[in-house]
Structure 1
Amino acid sequence: MITSTYTVVGMTCAHCVSAVRSEIGRLAGVSDVSVDLTAGAVTVTSEQPLDEAPVRTAVDEAGYALAGLASKDR
């Protein structure tokens, strides 16, 4: 499993967290999504490394902005 942490800007409440988790959770190969609202950090666990483009699109669909990849662990 691969764990990647992204920085997402614009999230302010539990609804924001739910929207981001839902959209990213729909991506192929994603097994878990956790969000730290205070830090603006979204940690994604996936079977394979994810390209940033689909993650960015999912975050955009949720109504927020992906600032970038903060870290990746294998």
Structure 2
Amino acid sequence: MSQTTTFSVDGMTCGHCVQHVTTELTAIPGVRDVSIELVNGGSSPVTVVSDEPLTDAAIAAAIDEAGYALTPKGSLL
């Protein structure tokens, strides 16, 4: 059964940024789809569909590897 995980990423400004984040997230085993709604310079919503639940550590590592930061939970960005 597939799992959907939603979170936000800070600082993306263009399609190239989206591509970097998508590439790193799809490298996580089990990830089937990544959808990003770009908010230029703000907090961009990201939805990931995977075969099993993703750990917060795996998501954070992928976002960090792409050169961006997760929006802290509860942030108003």
Structure 1 gaps of 5+ residues are: none
Q: Which structure: larger Rg?
A: 2
Where does 1:1-74 land on structure 2 (aligned, <5 Å)? 1-38=2-39, 40-68=44-72
Higher relative contact order (CA 8 A, sep 6+): 1
RMSD: 1.6
Moved over 6 A (4+): none
Matched residues, percent identical?
47
Q: Give the total of aligned pairs.
A: 70
Structure 2 gaps of 5+ residues are: none
TM-score of the pair, normalised by structure 1 = 0.87
